Amino acid sequence: MTEQPVATVTSPARARRTPSARASRLLANTLTYAFLIAGAALMLGPFLFSLITSLKTPQQFNTSWPVSLPDPVTAQNFTSLFSEQYNFVVPIAVTAQVVLVLVAGQMLCSVLAAYAFAQLRFPGRDTLFWVYVATLMIPAVVTIIPLYSMMTSLDLKNTFAGLVLPFMFGSPYAIFLLRENFRSTPADVLDAAIIDGAGVWRRLWQIMVPMNTPILATLLLITVVTQWNNFMWPLIIAPAEEWNVITVATAALQTQYAGNWTLVMAATTIAIAPLVTLFVIFQKQITSSLGVTGVR
Amino acid sequence: MKARERHEARAAYALLLPSFVGVGGFLLLPVIVVLALSFMRWDLISAPEWVGLENYAYLLSSERFANSLWVTAVFTLLAIPTSIALGLLLAIAINRGLPGTSWLRVLYVLPWVSAPLALGVVWKWILDPSYGVLNALIGERVEWLTDPQLALPAVVFVQIWSTVGYISLFFLAGLQQIPVAVYEAAKLDGAAAVRTLVAITLPLLRPTMFFVTVTSVIASFQVFDTVYAMTRGGPAFRTDVIASRIYDEAFVNLRLGRAAAMAVVLFLVLVAITLIQQRYFRRRITYDMS
């Protein structure tokens, strides 16, 4: 699913090139470029502005035009974020651990479930799968209060377990997506493995997983993005500072030091930059596969 | 053979066990719990107390709750059609395959990988009346987020800004599945660009359109992070979307039963909307593409 059919839409026009057709094509191309470049500037602007501001001294920020470049460039906002006063090391560490546990848990549990639904026969399979798919309809906002009451009754407020427990056992979305992909694994490959005496477990790890690495990689990235950016659940279950994730810490900083924008922009940069970097590295993989995940 | 089948079934149940803990314990059970809580009064301090339909009776008469539903509906009606139209336009523009444009879509997806909370904070600064970029650029002092007339449109704009690129990816995938031959036939028949869009592209994108609309509406009805960062529901509850109301009622006012009842209503509204959308998209003709 790379970009083969892209340019072909315009190709028939090339076949019958009259002067007026050429002029209208030129106009269409100019408009397309103008639209795409203006849009790209609008998209990129806020990211650049916040980065630039995070590199300014508060003095420069207060006295000069917001759009001006930092002069001098300073890391002062970042160093004070990591100083004892704001202690941003904690939210970064907490977020990293939460993401690690949730991604590992979700990927593993989802792979196991998707494999069972896609390739194994057992009584009640279709009904159970239908139940799983139905849970896709449950909005996160609806479960937040009951989950809070469940976690507090287990005494897990402001704990690591409280942050991860409800979400580490796989997600119906991931299971659904993986099952669709696992089902299309050629049956003869699996039959050959069965004849060779490969059991359920070995077929999963030696055939299904290696043959489905693209979708697994996509899902991995989606899960990392979702969990790193998560806000509402951590805000509710772990408001104590020592368990703040990066989004919660940023929100708290913004409330507490309103107007201290260079510091706040340093915090948003820290919250945004790791994933943007990850995304730029893997952008081909993500942009080409993401669009396909939904529509099948 | 029988033994192997039994073995396979047992293996399958074992593989499903962890995910069943997740789906059963943390998705299905919460739905039952939220329903139960919606019939109770609970302030986190004393034990929950059964009050029957009291919370629902309150919601029926509550102007604040009605306001939240209204704000959420307006938010959705402003944000979704715009971001779908722009996302489609963007996908069509990228799909023309002009040299140097394919990498631009990376920029459009940047907001999707970024935390909505962090983006909300960035936009709060950009729209800041005294220190923000926007007012500096237009050279005028506008109270974007504290003017009751402007706050909701401003939050809607940020929502559109952050979802449009992501939406365009789905349309791009949909566009690339349309056979080129269809367009060539239209060209030979002398169909103009607009005609081609209305008669070919849009009908053939129907499955994508359905998926994008349903997921966007569901996401839009639950928007929270952006509002929390930018306005906290204000000014004068003009941006008090339903998720913000539920959060405030539960964790600021400590009325968890009432908030649970709101969550139940939201759930029912979303199910109804999804079913209506499904009927609408089913009814329209789809072209057989196989």
Could you read off the pLDDT of A252-267 as tens digits, one per residue?
999 998 889 999 999 9
Amino acid in the structure at residue A41: A
Please count the CA atoms within 13 angstroms of the CA of B41 that sit on its side-chain side: 8
pLDDT (tens digit per residue) in B190-207: 888 888 888 888 988 988
CB nearest A268 (choices: B106, B122, B183): B122
Q: Among A62-71, A100-109, A285-294, B91-100, name the one with the lowest average pLDDT.
A: A285-294
Q: Does A77 touch chain B (CB under 8 A)?
A: no
How many other C-beta atoms can be found within 10 angstroms of the C-beta atom of residue A289?
Answer: 21
| pTM for this model (two decimals) | 0.90
How many other C-beta atoms can be found within 10 angstroms of the C-beta atom of residue B150?
Answer: 17
CA distance B227 to B116: 9
Q: Does A291 touch chain B (CB under 8 A)?
A: yes
A190 pLDDT exceeds 70? yes
Q: Answer whether B250 sits within 8 Å of A29, measured CB to CB.
A: no
Are A258 and A91 contacting, i.e. CB atoms less than 8 angstroms apart?
no
| ipTM score for this prediction | 0.91
Are A142 and A233 contacting, i.e. CB atoms less than 8 angstroms apart?
no
Compute the 3-state secondary structure of chain B and give helix, strand, coil in percent, each to the nearest 5.
75, 0, 25
For residue B42, the distance in angstroms to the closest alpha carbon of chain A comes to 10
Q: Answer whether B133 sits within 8 Å of A66, measured CB to CB.
A: yes
Q: Does A112 touch chain B (CB under 8 A)?
A: yes
**B235 CA to centre of own chain:** 22
Cis peptide preceding A91, ω within 30 of 0:
no
CB nearest B116 (choices: A29, A200, A229): A229
CA distance B80 to B136: 29
Are B221 and B270 contacting, i.e. CB atoms less than 8 angstroms apart?
yes
Average pLDDT over residues A84-99: 94
Are A39 and B90 contacting, i.e. CB atoms less than 8 angstroms apart?
yes
Are A110 and A208 contacting, i.e. CB atoms less than 8 angstroms apart?
no
Output the pLDDT for position B188. Answer: 85
Chain B residues with beta carbon closer than 8 angstroms to that of A63:
none
Longest CA–CA separation in chain A, Å: 76
CA distance A289 to A282: 11
CA distance A118 to A175: 10
CA distance B273 to B59: 20
A156 pLDDT exceeds 90? yes
Helical axes A213-229 vs A172-183, angle rounded to 10°: 170
Tokens, residue A150: 């469940």
For residue A113, the distance in angstroms to the closest alpha carbon of chain B comes to 5
Q: Answer whether B109 sits within 8 Å of A44, measured CB to CB.
A: no
Output the pLDDT for position B199. Answer: 86
Contacts 24+ apart (CB under 8 A), A204-210: A204/A111, A204/A112, A204/A115, A208/A111, A208/A115, A208/A118, A208/A119, A208/A182, A209/A111
Q: Does A234 touch chain B (CB under 8 A)?
A: no
Nearest to B12 by CA among A182, A181, A173, A165: A182
Tokens, residue A37: 């470049």
* Three-state DSSP state, A283: helix
Are B110 and B118 contacting, i.e. CB atoms less than 8 angstroms apart?
no
Q: Going by C-beta distance under 8 Å and a sequence separation of 6 or more, which residues neighbour residue B103?
A: none
Tokens, residue B107: 């920029």
Name the more confident of A284 and A266.
Answer: A266
For residue B194, the distance in angstroms to the closest alpha carbon of chain A comes to 13
CA distance B33 to A222: 29
Chain B residues with beta carbon closer than 8 angstroms to that of A42:
161
CA distance B209 to B83: 12
Average pLDDT over residues A2-19: 48
Are A36 and B104 contacting, i.e. CB atoms less than 8 angstroms apart?
yes
Are A271 and A254 contacting, i.e. CB atoms less than 8 angstroms apart?
no
**Closest chain B residue to the Cα of A228, Cα to Cα:** B115
Can you list the residues of chain B whose pLDDT is less than 70?
A: 1, 283-290
Looking at residue B237, what DSSP letter applies? Answer: T
DSSP H helices in B21-62: 29-37, 54-61
CA distance A195 to A175: 27
Amino acid in the structure at residue B206: R
Task: Give A4's pLDDT tier (boundaries 50, 70, 90).
Answer: very low
Cis peptide preceding B235, ω within 30 of 0:
yes
Q: Answer whether B117 sits within 8 Å of A251, measured CB to CB.
A: yes
Nearest to A149 by CA among A141, A137, A157: A157
Average pLDDT over residues A227-232: 96
- Written as one string, the DSSP assignment of A167-234 is GSS--HHHHHHHHHHHHTS-HHHHHHHHHTT--HHHHIIIIIHHHTHHHHHHHHHHHHHHHHH--HHH
Output the pLDDT for position B283. Answer: 60
Are A123 and A191 contacting, i.e. CB atoms less than 8 angstroms apart?
no
**B51 CA to centre of own chain:** 33
For residue A218, the distance in angstroms to the closest alpha carbon of chain B comes to 13
Q: Answer whether B266 sits within 8 Å of A13, measured CB to CB.
A: no
Tokens, residue B13: 């149940």
How big is the CA angle at A222 (ends A221 and A227), to the nearest 5 degrees? Answer: 100
Compute the 3-state secondary structure of chain A and give helix, strand, coil in percent, each to the nearest 5.
75, 0, 25
For residue A290, the distance in angstroms to the closest alpha carbon of chain B comes to 7
CA distance A224 to A95: 11
Average pLDDT over residues A231-247: 96
Are A214 and A181 contacting, i.e. CB atoms less than 8 angstroms apart?
no
CA distance B78 to B156: 7
Longest CA–CA separation in chain B, Å: 80
Interface test with B, best of A141, A221, A237, A281 (most B CBs within 10 A): A141
Q: Among A45-54, A191-200, B256-265, B277-286, name the one with the lowest average pLDDT.
A: B277-286
